[in-house]
Amino acid sequence: MSHYQPHTETESRAMLDSLGLASTDALFEAVPRDIRLTAPVPLARGLSQMETQRAMEELAARNTAYRLCLRGAGCYDHYIPPLVSQITGKEEFVTAYTPYQSELSQGILQSIFEYQTLICELTGMDASNAGMYDGATAAAESATMCRERGRTVTLVSACAHPDTLAVMRTYCYGTHHELRIIPAVDGHTDSAALAAMLTDDVASVYIQQPNYFGVLEDVPALFAAAKAAGVKCILGQNPMTFALLPSGAEVGADIVCGDVQPFGIPMAFGGPSAGYMATTTALQRRLPGRIVGQTTDAQGRRAFVLTLQAREQHIRREKASSNICSNEAHCTLTASVYLTYLGLKGLTAVAENCLTKAHALAKALCEIPGVKLRYCGEFFHEFVTDLPVDPANVEAALEADGVLSGLPVQGGMLWCVTEKADAAQLADVVRRVKEVCVK
């Protein structure tokens, strides 16, 4: 039997021409050439299970395994208790996909309901959906929720994650709406610039907390200015920080969103993960995707149903606010198990551990001549330092020691510290950085 061919060469050529591309390879130009396969993976045909496993292990051994990860920038190396994967790896969870026949899917509906409840408790909001593809998608969908007649412009802080900003731009491009960038000053969102940008056509403002540089924004003040102008407020927050910082409701957010990856989901080369999204009662009917509600059945027993579905498969397409058609059910289940296992006390302990160790590393690094914090202000577990040498030199030196450095940025490095780092490891990092920076 031949391989399934979805398109003829003529159809493929027509699609490439419409995109202005010379070849299929041009579709992947965004992927760095040094990580692309130039030829098929050399696997022999007809291997036994034992031989196949050995071959895969040999391939996996070509990856670099770091003993310490100091890189964050949206994906974080937290400790995952074995119990999390032990529970989520149960067959009934792994094989359950999505509740198309909701009345027969009480188990998965309950798991989603519990997840929604946990997200509402963390954010202080009234309603949550079943999950989004990732944090960037959740941010873009949040902006869509806020648009109304006469108010369609989205304001986004220049301090937001570049990937989130890119996805929001893509959404705006597809719907022909405008996105405007709020300038940054010293690693913070410029409050004076925001005040001048709050015109009558603005629907929402998106602020990330902590921002891409790790800095904690003055969210209450930024949102107060937006509220005074009748603009809705979207808070994109690392959920781990809710253990230490005020909830979204307390800072005046209309929508709170982000990525649940810190809650028990492996970094896994950048995915998969899931986005969380919660809002007020006033906006709950605009939530995209699935929302699970609790009710009672004909016998008075506790039961769960899909409710308030604003997705295009369930209502008239012209009335739909989104075409999001699925949820990251297993990822949100993982987050739920992680949160339930830790509890508020455990989550707070993890967050405090990250905070303390990050500040300790920042202090020690800044004692090295030529190294200093780039931005003033408080931070959680990420911070940027200026370096007196090429950041690539620091990255290479730490890699030789089995440490994945912070993310190299222009003239410096964006560091991240989680609870997995211990004092001895961080002392070794400081020593190695000093050797590179001080000749």
Q: What is the pLDDT of residues 380-436, one digit of tens each?
A: 999 999 999 999 999 999 999 999 999 999 999 999 999 999 999 999 999 999 999
Write down how long the chain is: 439
Average of pLDDT values for 56-72?
91
Question: What pLDDT score was predicted for residue 310?
Answer: 58
Question: What pLDDT score was predicted for residue 93?
Answer: 87
Average of pLDDT values for 105-115?
91
Contact 274, 116 (CB under 8 A): no
Q: Which amino acid is at 153?
A: V
What is the overall mean pLDDT for the chain?
A: 92
Q: Is 280 helix (H, G, I), strand (E, B) or coil?
A: coil
Q: Is 92 helix (H, G, I), strand (E, B) or coil?
A: helix
> Phi/psi of residue 284, each to 5°?
-65, -30
Question: What pLDDT score was predicted for residue 195?
Answer: 97
Domain 68-80+343-437 architecture: Alpha-Beta Complex (3.90)
Give the number of C-alpha atoms closer than 13 A to the C-alpha of residue 336, restricted to the C-beta side: 22
pTM of the model: 0.89
Question: What pLDDT score was predicted for residue 319?
Answer: 66
Helix (H) or strand (E) holding 129: none
Q: What is the rounded distance in angstroms from the CA atom of residue 435 to the CA atom of residue 433?
A: 5
Q: Is 205 helix (H, G, I), strand (E, B) or coil?
A: strand
Classify 131 in phi/psi space as left (phi over 0), alpha (psi -120 to 50) or beta.
left
Question: What pLDDT score was predicted for residue 1?
Answer: 38
Question: What pLDDT score was predicted for residue 368?
Answer: 97
- Cα angle vertex 291, ends 114, 293, to 5°? 60
DSSP 8-state secondary structure symbol assigned to residue 216? P
Question: What pLDDT score was predicted for residue 22?
Answer: 92
Percent of the chain at pLDDT exceeding 70: 94
Selecting from 3.40.1160.10, 3.40.640.10, 2.40.340.10, 3.30.70.1150, what CATH number does the domain 82-338 have? 3.40.640.10
Q: What is the rounded distance in angstroms from the CA atom of residue 179 to the CA atom of residue 60?
A: 42
The model's pLDDT over 273-291, given as tens digits with 9 standing for 90+, comes to 999 999 999 999 899 888 8
Pick the most confident of 81-95, 311-325, 349-363: 349-363
Contact 390, 439 (CB under 8 A): no
pLDDT score of 184 more than 50 = yes
Q: What is the rounded distance in angstroms from the CA atom of residue 176 to the CA atom of residue 130?
A: 27
pLDDT band of 161, cuts 50, 70, 90: very high
The model's pLDDT over 320-376, given as tens digits with 9 standing for 90+, comes to 667 776 678 899 999 999 999 999 999 999 999 999 999 999 999 999 999 999 999
The model's pLDDT over 202-236, given as tens digits with 9 standing for 90+, comes to 999 999 999 999 999 999 999 999 999 999 999 99
> Phi/psi of residue 324, each to 5°?
-60, 125
Bridge-partner residues for 416, per DSSP? 382
Q: Is 378 helix (H, G, I), strand (E, B) or coil?
A: coil
User: Domain limits of the chain?
Assistant: 68-80+343-437, 82-338
Average of pLDDT values for 165-169?
97
